Amino acid sequence: MSDKTTHFGYKKVPVEEKAQRVRSVFDSVATDYDLMNDVMSLGIHRLWKRLAIGMANIRPGQQVLDLAGGTGDLVLLIAPRVGPLGRVVLSDINNAMIRTGRARLLDRGIAGNVEYVQADAERLPFPDNSFDCITMAFGLRNVTHKQAAMDSMYRVLKPGGRLLILEFSRPAALLKPAYDFYSFSILPRLGQLIARDAASYRYLAESIRMHPDQKTLVGMLESADFEGCDFHNLTGGIVAIHRGYKF
């Protein structure tokens, strides 16, 4: 693949087109995103997210950035932890997802300590050393230049800050046949039935396969100067939580 093309699922597309294609996917699925997550994972995604936030060690008064924050699942968990003296920024590249997330959070009474910023993870519009913690759940695989995003995250973290990335990863070999069958035969049908969009969910399955595996992602974090990097597999490696620190 040349420097001028990148992967959109299994397809090769011009680099400048990927962000718009990803945006179109999430424009299409935004209103059904939460329901589809529950159906796709049998609700287990909520446990994965709680485990990730539990590992983040977020404390009252801290400044937290949730990237690819979408419909606000992580912010629902983070906002009570930082409390009224802290701040959570829900950032997403997709305006439709931000609008859905804001409405959902307001319905839950989450308002005073949350801000919303539409931004590209590769070029974060925040000053250096702004955040105590950055979280990102199921968003990194959609980023065109992942290394640039990690460099940007490192820049806006405070010294002593930490990054947590929750993302689909490589499952154990014994799980792979059943996982592949579900991903490519069942998931698009669920997408068509619930969100009336099989193609977007086919892309999501493909994007998972093109995402770096656990050890490769650790290496990318280290290349961005994160230290103490590790990963924790969940559900047999179907997803993994990666951590890195800025010292």
Q: Please provide the average confidence, as pLDDT, over all residues in the chain.
A: 91
Domain containing residue 31: 5-245
Per-residue pLDDT for 83 more than 80?
yes
Cβ 34 vs Cβ 71: under 8 Å: yes
Structural domains counted in the chain: 1
CA–CA–CA angle 47, 237, 181 (5° rounding):
100
pLDDT tens for 53-73 read 999 999 999 999 999 998 899
pLDDT tens for 168-209 read 999 999 999 999 999 999 988 988 887 788 888 888 889 899
In this structure, of 21-25, 76-80, 108-112, the range with the lowest mean pLDDT score is 21-25
Question: What's residue 110's pLDDT?
Answer: 94
Per-residue pLDDT for 126 more than 90?
yes
What are the distances in angstroms from CA 10 to CA 21, 30, 118, 199, 229? 13, 22, 27, 12, 29
Ramachandran angles phi, psi of 158, nearest 5°: -75, 155
In CATH, what number is assigned to the domain containing residue 15? 3.40.50.150
